[in-house]
Amino acid sequence: MGKINKTLGEFIIENQSSFAYSTGELSKLIHAIRLAAKVVNHEVNKAGLVDILGDAGDQNVQGEDQQKLDILANEKFIQTLKNREIVCGIASEEEDSFIEVNSHDELHQNKYVVLIDPLDGSSNIDVNVSVGTIFSVYRRVTPIGSPVTLEDFLQPGRNQVAAGYVVYGTSTMLVYTTGHGVNGFTLNPAIGTFYLSNPDMQFPEDGKIYSVNEGNYIHFPQGVKDYIKYCQEEDGDRPYTSRYIGSLVSDFHRNMIKGGIYMYPKSSKASNGKLRLLYECNPMAFLAEQAKGKASNGYERILDLQPTELHQRVPFFCGSRKMVEKAESFMAKHEAVEFK
């Protein structure tokens, strides 16, 4: 029980030596994300009491309607990361371009860039359904001492040094990895402290849950249609259970605990899918692989994809290894047709 009662701060200190670059900045960065998550959690929990529900009346760079809480969460995370002076750049799903961050003491001396989806599934706020935050951390590739550039952000997911998410639900959990497994911490709201509650989280090798927006079925590639039909067939431990929340963080979190697959394929309405490679797919793929799961675009490992733009979208299949591999086998049967 002693291990379960460990705080996030204690866990970070005890495991700092396992980081690839143990100079303290990455630990401070995780602390900053923890602080911002607590602030956003406070706002989410009082959403029905103050005027932060509904559309803000603007659209983000992807042309999506921004919710008021999207803007608030974006501001809180950016402000917190800037104030701690531990990153040289920030890219947010809600911003047109990346943000250069300069240290007041030493110009451009910070080593890390952060990419963030401040409030995933924010449209669910109005109906009191779980939402989340997703973050991804890389070491810059341009020389320390020079201004951060787009090159620092357009790195393949395998270069991540840390990634994680916060799920704001019946309880608030921060789940993250630095490349040494996945651990989950639950917030005690009475004292504002995260405690280790889910050590060494892992996907079951197989599962019985599939998560996909079946309302788009008619627009999906044939391989995806065939896999969905396979999930629905009565045979052995099938049919599987369909569970789709509409918040990537929530669907991923459930599937990691219970076993399942999350799918957001390309379609005739969205030729590259909807999810962003840098803000959603890469961090979730890193977490999945660290938790013995798998993530691909249906054909290739997500973490091996070379990004070409900041807001790039890709198809996404993620979850229990055997389920993802089965979905890939259905996709492979139609690969020649799909890529014509």
CA separation for the pair 49, 178 (Å, rounded): 37
Same domain, yes or no: 270 and 308: yes
Same domain, yes or no: 274 and 175: no
Same domain, yes or no: 121 and 239: no
Last residue of a domain, one of 176, 198, 220: 198
Domain count of the fold of the chain? 2
Same domain, yes or no: 82 and 162: yes
Spatial neighbors of 197 by CB under 8 A, at least 6 apart, are: 4, 173, 184, 185, 186
Burial of 130 (0-12, 13-18, 19+ CB in 10 A): buried
* 21 CB neighbour count, 10 Å cutoff: 11
Last residue of a domain, one of 198, 217, 249: 198
Report the pLDDT averaged over residues 123-138. 86
* 61 CB neighbour count, 10 Å cutoff: 13
Calculate the average pLDDT of the chain.
Answer: 88
Whole-angstrom CA distances from 267 to 220, 248, 308, 313 are 5, 18, 21, 12
Q: Give the three-state DSSP class for 322.
A: helix
Q: Tell me the pLDDT band of 53, cut-offs 50, 70 and 90.
A: very low
pLDDT, residue 22, reads 52
Q: Which residues are annotated as a binding site?
A: 93, 117, 119-123, 213, 244, 274, 280
* pLDDT at residue 11 is higher than 60: yes
Q: Tell me the pLDDT band of 51, cut-offs 50, 70 and 90.
A: very low
Read off the amino acid at residue 104. H
The DSSP bridge partners found for residue 120 are 132
Burial of 230 (0-12, 13-18, 19+ CB in 10 A): middle
Same domain, yes or no: 227 and 186: no
Q: Which residues are annotated as a binding site for substrate?
A: 120-123, 213, 244, 274
Q: Which residues are annotated as a binding site for Mg(2+)?
A: 93, 117, 119-120, 280
| 52 inside domain | yes
Same domain, yes or no: 31 and 151: yes
| 204 inside domain | no
pLDDT, residue 52, reads 44
Report the pLDDT averaged over residues 290-300. 97
What tens digit of pLDDT does each residue of 77-102 get?
999 999 887 899 999 999 999 999 97
